[in-house]
Structure 1
Amino acid sequence: MTEVVETDAGPARVTWHPAEKPRLVLAVSHGAGGGIEARDLRALAAALPAHGVSVALVEQPWRVAGKKLAPAPKTLDAGWRGIWPAVAAPGLPVVSGGRSAGARVACRTATELGAHAVLALSFPLHPPGKPEKSRADELLAAGVPTLVVQGGNDPFGRPEEFPEAPGKTYELLEVPYGDHGFAVPKRAAITQERALELITEGVAEWVGSLG
């Protein structure tokens, strides 16, 4: 089921992959360079409903409008605030999620929107080649249980570059050999299919651990 939701940033689109007996909603959005067809988002939408999680894939207004470049962070946040009533409508706890720029949005707005937890896929810790421009403060300020899923070869931040999580602020799941889109080289010790299984299995286990 797909619904169009009006936001202050324009119309957004939510595509639902419902669980038969849902106990949680995972609302997850795309990054600044792609849409909900991203391999990790598709994999989660296919796998998580069997674990009692209804998945809402959210397309930000700029994508719905057919634009190629993402707007400023405050506009992304406005779009995310606008879709929140729709994803909260089932009356279940909502895990706020996103990949790349969408992960930053989820972290920035989690406390304000009352998110149950945050799923940060390919969190862009810094621009490629510029580790001094860290965005760790956004991640550490999420204020709710957070899982970071990061490719081992992500140029936007490899797992070992992430700061220690004071007070278990967040957990980190590494996808070996994965790049920013979780693509793994053909010569890697794991297949592309296995890389996606690591993501879906890890997220399902984490979601199952949430109170």
Structure 2
Amino acid sequence: MTDVTDVTDVTESVETEAGTARVIWHRARTARLVLALGHGAGGGVEARDLQALARVLPAHGVSVALVEQPWRVAGKKVAPAPKTLDLGWCGVWPVLERPGRPVIAGGRSAGARVACRTATALGALAVLALSFPLHPPGRPERSRADELLGAGVPTLVVQGGNDPFGRPEEFPPGPYGMVEVPRGDHGFAVPKRADITQERALGTITDAVVAWAASLG
């Protein structure tokens, strides 16, 4: 796994048209990029992949901003419609740009969809899609591939090999990179008896993102 550096968290509230959002900063000492990460519809920024990236990326010159959508900050249990999610995300964007560094739009699951839908309009440098929900479980005919293919900027997808929302081999060809986390589910959890440990699974994610971010300049 990539080396980790301790970075003090800095949290700030941001008013958006969708309500009050929260940004938790994990700042690099000398940042050249900002990686903004939104959470999914079934959880928050405590997700294992988001936390792993927040721990590791700052040591490689990438500040990480974990973005809590207004509905989570308000304590609601159910995510709002995509349009409202996009509104909350776009409202936070000026704060993400404030350090004066290029911003990678990223997120897991529903957060990945938000990043893809808004990347071009916001001027994102690239998109990191973690556990992109290609389709609802068991419903491959309800594909969301158009959102991924329409991101319009360099895109990296990191997908669990056993993700019921879309395994890597289900994704259509397109202008994006794909990294598979072997045996990983939608939350990148791996079975206890798998031939890959949970630590190694997270290392696969962080190592891939470190290398990809370095390639962006």
TM range (shorter): over 0.9
Question: How far off is 1:76 after superposition?
Answer: 0.1
Partner of 2:178 in structure 1?
172
The CA deviation string for residues 113-136 of structure 1, in whole angstroms up to 9 with x for no partner, is: 000000000000000000000000
Secondary structure of 1:190 counterpart:
coil
1:54 aligns with 2:60: no
Which of residues 169, 185, 189 in structure 2 aligns to 1:183?
189
Amino acid at match of 1:75: T
Amino acid at match of 1:163: P
Partner of 1:66 in structure 2?
75
Q: Any gaps of 5 or more consecutive residues in structure 1?
A: none
The CA deviation string for residues 158-206 of structure 1, in whole angstroms up to 9 with x for no partner, is: 00000011xxx11000000000000000111000000000000000000
Q: Any gaps of 5 or more consecutive residues in structure 2?
A: 1-9
Instruction: Give the distance between the partners of 1:158 and 1:64, measured in 2 at CA.
Output: 31
Amino acid at match of 1:207: A
Instruction: Give the distance between the partners of 2:108 and 2:17, measured in 1 at CA.
Output: 22
Question: How far off is 1:66 after superposition?
Answer: 0.1
Secondary structure of 2:72 counterpart:
helix
The CA deviation string for residues 64-99 of structure 1, in whole angstroms up to 9 with x for no partner, is: 000000000000000000000000000100000000
Partner of 1:130 in structure 2?
139
Partner of 1:28 in structure 2?
37
1:16 aligns with 2:22: no
Amino acid at match of 1:5: V
Question: How far off is 1:22 after superposition?
Answer: 0.2
Amino acid at match of 2:117: R
Instruction: Give the distance between the partners of 1:138 and 1:34, measured in 2 at CA.
Output: 21
Q: How does 1:54-203 map to 2 (within 5 A)?
A: 54-165=63-174, 169-203=175-209
Partner of 2:5 in structure 1?
none
TM-score (norm 1): 0.98
Secondary structure of 1:131 counterpart:
coil
Instruction: Give the distance between the partners of 2:194 and 2:213, measured in 1 at CA.
Output: 28
The CA deviation string for residues 30-78 of structure 1, in whole angstroms up to 9 with x for no partner, is: 0000000000000000000000000000000000000000000000000
Runs of 4+ in 1 over 6 A off after TM superposition: none
Secondary structure of 1:68 counterpart:
coil
Question: What is the total number of aligned residue pairs between the two structures?
Answer: 208
